[in-house]
Amino acid sequence: MTGLLGKKIGMTSIFDDSGEVIPCTVIEAGPCFVTQIKTVDRDGYAAVQIGFAERRERLIPKPQAGHLKRAGVKPVRIMREFRIDGGGELQPGQEIRVDKVFTKGDTVSVIGTSKGRGFQGVVKRHHFGGGFRTHGQSDRERAPGSIGSSSYPSRVFKGTRMAGRMGGEQVTVRNLKVVGVIPDSNLLLIKGSVPGAINGYLEIRKSKDKTH
């Protein structure tokens, strides 16, 4: 396995062997359950589909309920695929715990949904400096200023940074270090922060990038 699904619990601090304080994020990583095994012969690629977080059966679509029933897995809230080399050791319905995938010192990438900030102006959304409050323009302090030209090209270019909906997007943070694994509680301690709010769902994947 190259990763797991989890839920952000919160943040805390721990001490390393030298006594240095390490701020870290606590993630409930699993237990996850294998819902499908994909093979090269049948699907064109090798992957394992896993599910996480129980859900009431009446809240999931019937096709998904049948899919999970065939795998012998209770209704789950989210499912994701992870590429694998073989997969012969994994079986549908099998439980995967955090200590079977991650160990202390691993480098991972964490994928989550950033906090939704709603409609925001250019100062907060794009870090604009704003205008002066003098010379009769006291209401221009947080305004974007000119957004286009006059006679040419007489339009606003696509992609111009303006006010709008902020957050609520998929964000990937790479090269985070695993500083602790607590198998009894399926907890993963990752140095630094990860995307999203508390109780947000995450993908934790073993990173192929070199540690910086």
Confidence band, pLDDT 50/70/90 cuts, at residue 174: very high
How far apart CA 198 and CA 210 sit, in angstroms, is 28
Nearest alpha-carbon partner for 130 in 147, 142, 115:
142
| pLDDT tens-place string over residues 116-142 | 999 999 999 999 998 888 888 888 889
Distance, CA of 109 to chain centre: 9
The predicted structure's pLDDT at residue 135:
85
Q: Which residues pair with 33 in a beta bridge?
A: 51, 95
212 pLDDT higher than 50: no
The predicted structure's pLDDT at residue 211:
45
Residue type, 30: G
What CATH homologous superfamily does 3-117+172-206 map to? Answer: Translation factors (2.40.30.10)
Question: Looking at per-residue confidence, does 74 or 1 come out higher?
Answer: 74
How far apart CA 131 and CA 111 sit, in angstroms, is 36
Mark residue 140 as left, alpha or beta (left: phi above 0; alpha: psi -120 to 50; beta: remaining). Answer: alpha
Confidence band, pLDDT 50/70/90 cuts, at residue 90: confident
Distance, CA of 188 to chain centre: 14
| pLDDT tens-place string over residues 104-116 | 999 999 999 999 9
15 pLDDT higher than 80: yes
Q: Which token pair is 9?
A: 């619990």
Confidence band, pLDDT 50/70/90 cuts, at residue 88: low
The predicted structure's pLDDT at residue 149:
80
Question: Looking at per-residue confidence, does 86 or 4 come out higher?
Answer: 4
- Give the CA distances from residue 37 to residues 3, 17, 47, in Å, rounded to whole numbers and listed in that order: 15, 41, 6
CATH 2.40.30.10 domain span(s) along the chain: 3-117+172-206
Instruction: Indicate the average pLDDT of the chain.
Output: 90
Supply the pTM of this predicted model: 0.83
Q: Which token pair is 140?
A: 């221009």
How far apart CA 77 and CA 36 sit, in angstroms, is 15
Q: Which token pair is 32?
A: 């996850």
209 pLDDT higher than 70: no
Residue type, 201: Y
3-state class (DSSP) for residue 91: coil
Q: Which token pair is 57?
A: 């059966």
The predicted structure's pLDDT at residue 85:
78
